Amino acid sequence: MFDLKSLDGDMVTVDQDALDALSASLRGGVYLRGSPEYDEARTTWNSMVERYPGFVIRALGASDVQKAVNFVRNAGLVMSVRSGGHQIAGHAVADETVMLDLSHMRSVHVDPIAKSARVAPGAVLGDVDRETQAHGLVVPTGINSTTGIAGLTLGGGFGWSTRKFGMTIDNLVSAEVVTAEGEIVTASASSHPELFWAIRGGGGNFGVVTSFEFQLHDLGPEVLSGLIVHPIENAPALLAEYAKIADTSPDELTVWSVMRKAPPLPFLPEEWHGREILIFAACYAGAMEDGEKAVARLRALGDPIVDVISPHSFVDWQAAFDALLTPGARNYWKSHDFETLSSDAITGLLDGIATLPDPACEVFIAHVGGAMARVGADSTAYPQRSAHFIMNVHTRWEDPAKDAECIDWARTLYDRMQPHATGSAYVNFMPEDEADHMAGAYGANGSKLSKIKGKYDPGNLFRVNHNILPT
């Protein structure tokens, strides 16, 4: 017998016979506390998330997901959905609930003739990159190969090739979705178009996606990419010039700036290890010779410690920051959008870097725009389409005793930067304690999302997320 949280706020008892019957009907299975499958499923990328679901339903296909949704809905239970388990808020797992685990659904099938890919929801970005790059093709995604494709896509998705090819959601052609009623539907521009609009940025509020179909683009197998590292003392002038370069760069060029203590990277002189640095991370999504011309202004700035921009395998470049983003550390993020990087905003950022609470903490500034900015704000649920900068206060540490210090540092810097921000937000960077920021995440699209939620999930079955309330 198991007592679990119910949708109406009480507790519901589920007996073993019901679980046995459910498990027997699945290609996957049902796993209880104490089993290795249970512990594997509930362990996510962010070690601050330490929660215990009542049991885990592991799905291996859409039929398993359908049976799980029907079981949970009919029993009135609360359910979380785990795909890659990388989300900063940790919504993949919740105490005394049912976890639907999609992490073993990792297939990626590429059609090189149609330049499309069919991707299962448990796949991570590294899975997608390896299969698409086998054909010299890409779908624009994020920058950490262990991120799950499902969460990234449902929240928006941006990275090194976004300025050239758009956001991940801009390249979503269709999705197979299991709705709250247990129907398996295809969402696309011509089938369930409202649902298709909503899942492109609205998160997991509207159903469980069991398959994504993406449009692919020619790129690779090598790209011009790499890092230029400067002393932090030179950052005020360098960041001001960086902002000008970012605003006038061709769509193919993406440059992010990172401020942190220097990790012990083999190409950095040892005397710089542990000292504050400014990093420009660049990638050119086009011909190599054109890339050399495009990065010339960036390479001419200041007197760098090192410049390691050169041809790299795109698959390797996509995983270049994995060593700094390994699972098992404690993580807390805060994020803002900026239309510009003013001198006052740069000063505020550098004041924060001067008080880093841990060597693993950093602030990065991503520049987006290009193809992404040429999509209308109301074309997808994700609304912030202007050419702008996205800040992530990426607070990361190992020792639980430092929780309060590190979280306070992130919140302080977030508050300091608020006067320079647009008020919008990227939902994939929002921690669990930012429920009051949902209006900023969706802006004028919020009311439409609530209506679509009311149509597809009026009982708010899919609520363990950055939740959109149904109307």
CB atoms within 10 A of CB 106: 18
CA 83 to chain centre: 12
Query: pLDDT per residue over 374-383, tens digit each?
Result: 999 999 999 9
pLDDT band at 264 (very low <50, low <70, confident <90, very high): very high
193-203 residue pLDDT tens:
999 999 999 99
pLDDT given for residue 440 in this prediction = 82
Percent of the chain residues topping a pLDDT of 70: 100
**Looking at residue 363, what is its pLDDT?**
97
The pLDDT-based confidence of 180 (bands split at 50, 70, 90) is very high
Q: For residue 7, is pLDDT > 80? A: yes
Q: Report pLDDT for 471.
A: 93
User: Which range among 243-257, 372-386, 390-404, 422-436 shows the weakest confidence by mean pLDDT?
Assistant: 422-436
Predicted confidence (pLDDT) at residue 387 exceeds the cutoff of 80: no
Is the predicted pLDDT of residue 324 greater than 90, yes or no? no
Fold observed for domain 108-218+443-456: 3.30.465
Give all strands (DSSP E) within 232-300, no chain letters: 253-261, 276-284
Q: Which amino acid is at 131?
A: E
**Confidence label for 41 from pLDDT (cuts 50, 70 and 90):** very high
Closest residue by Cα to residue 370 from 302, 294, 265: 294
439, 368, 203, 383 alpha-carbon torsion, rounded to 10°: 40
Q: Of 81, 144, 114, whose CA–CA distance to 324 is shortest?
A: 144
Rounded CA-CA distance 391/336 in Å is 5
- Tell me the C-alpha distance between 227 and 32, whole Å: 46
How far is residue 311's CA from residue 226's CA, in Å, rounded to a whole number? 8
pLDDT of residue 340: 93
Q: Is 225 exposed, middle or buried, given 0-12, 13-18 or 19+ CB atoms closer than 10 A? A: buried
Per-residue pLDDT tens digits for 86-138 = 999 999 999 999 999 999 999 999 999 999 999 999 999 999 999 999 999 99
Residue range 279-300: average pLDDT? 97
Torsion of CA 387, 166, 332, 316, to 10 degrees: -120
Distance CA 48, CA 85 (A): 13
Q: Which sequence spans correspond to the domains of the chain?
A: 2-101, 108-218+443-456, 222-435
CATH level 3 topology of 2-101: 3.30.43
Which pLDDT belongs to residue 68?
Answer: 98
Closest to 202 measured CA to CA, from 153, 163, 159, 144? 153
Q: Tokens representing 48?
A: 């601050």
Class of domain 222-435: alpha beta
- Please give the Cα distance from 55 to 13 (Å, whole number): 12
In total, the chain counts a number of residues equal to 471
Report the DSSP beta bridge partners of residue 229. 279, 306
Q: What pLDDT, on a 0 to 100 scale, did the predictor assign at position 117?
A: 98
Q: Are 407 and 330 in contact (CB under 8 A)?
A: no
pLDDT at position 119, please? 98
Which residue carries 């090192």 as its tokens? 306
pLDDT band of 434, cuts 50, 70, 90: confident
Q: With a cut of 80, say whether residue 18 has pLDDT above it.
A: yes
At 361 the pLDDT is 97
> What mean pLDDT is predicted for residues 173-199?
98
pLDDT at 439 over 90: no
Instruction: Give, for 16, the enclosing helix (H) or strand (E).
Output: helix 16-24
Which CB contacts under 8 angstroms, 24+ apart, belong to 181-189? Answer: 181/73, 182/66, 182/69, 182/70, 182/73, 184/62, 184/66, 184/210
pTM score: 0.96
Query: Is 206 in contact with 196 (CB distance < 8 Å)?
Result: no
